[in-house]
Amino acid sequence: MSASVDDIPEAGGQGRGGPASKRVVVGYGFWIFLLSDIIMFATLFASYAVLAGATAGGPRSQDLFRPGSVALETAFLLASSFVCGMATLAVERRNQRWTQAALLLTGLLGAGFLTLEIREFASLVERGAGPSRSAFLSAFFTLVGCHGLHVTAGLLWLGTMMAQFLAKGFRQNIRHRYLCFSLFWHTLDIIWVAIFNLVYLVGTTPYV
């Protein structure tokens, strides 16, 4: 094991150098799944954009959304994505302590985001702006709630990743599972970027 990592040629999946390595294939396959997930979110964005004005005489987005709480949610999720990157660096170095610490912090920040979102949903329902109030609110709860469900699933996955690293160590297949998890977690942040910009920020400007 004296060769440096940089000396080992790795096929990239274009036929040169043999078949692509497992790492590249696993990442590619999961990336295809994530893109299909993104397309599903695109349909939810499309229905929200079409229905955003259909308030049925109920509250409009300008009356409901508070930028302060959205800014905090955004900060939580962005920080969570960053710490997940730190966890990736720790996994690559097979450092159990840093991996567990970084993943725990990633999960706590994600849970903080989820708590804020649930509180926001509860306050909307309390003010009579639940999903059954208007088509606009149905589309809003479907879109943002679907993202929240993805974050919830991500938190469960994160817990199982921590347990697997602890129980089975940094085996190749476990690291590949972690690669998929980190792609999933970072993609959730990308979808949140679209949500907070197009739903919350554009929704609170007086021009739409």
- Interacting positions 73-132 with another protein (CB under 8 A): 74, 78-79, 81-82, 85-86, 88-95, 98
**Complex with another protein: residue 122 or 160, whichever CB lies closer:** 160
CA distances from 88 to 70, 153, 162 (A): 27, 19, 12
Q: How far is the CB of 98 from another protein (least distance, A)?
A: 6
Applying CB under 8 A, the site for another protein has a residue count of: 72
The 3-state DSSP class for residue 55 equals coil
Interface map 163-192 toward another protein (x if CB under 8 A)? ------xxxx--x--xx--xx--xx-xx--
**Contacting range for another protein; rule: CB under 8 A; set: 45-53, 119-127, 134-142, 158-166:** 45-53
CA 182 – CA 186 distance, rounded (Å): 6
Neighbour count for residue 181 (Cβ, 10 Å):
22
**Which of 207, 201, 203, 198 is CA-nearest to residue 59?**
203
Q: Confirm if 190 and 207 have CB atoms less than 8 A apart.
A: no
Site for another protein in 5-44 (CB under 8 A): 5-6, 8, 10-14, 20-21, 23-24, 27-28, 31-32, 35-36, 38-39, 42-43
Tokens of 130: 């639940």
Q: How far is the CB of 77 from another protein (least distance, A)?
A: 10
Minimum distance between the CB of residue 147 and another protein, rounded to whole angstroms? Answer: 14
157 part of the interface to another protein, by CB under 8 A: no
Q: In angstroms, rounded to a whole number, what is the distance separating the alpha carbons of residues 129 and 30? A: 37
Give me the least distance between CB of 92 and another protein, in Å please: 4
Closest approach, Cβ 46 to another protein, in A, equals 4
89's tokens = 């660096």
Q: 152: how many CB neighbours lie within 10 A of its CB? A: 15
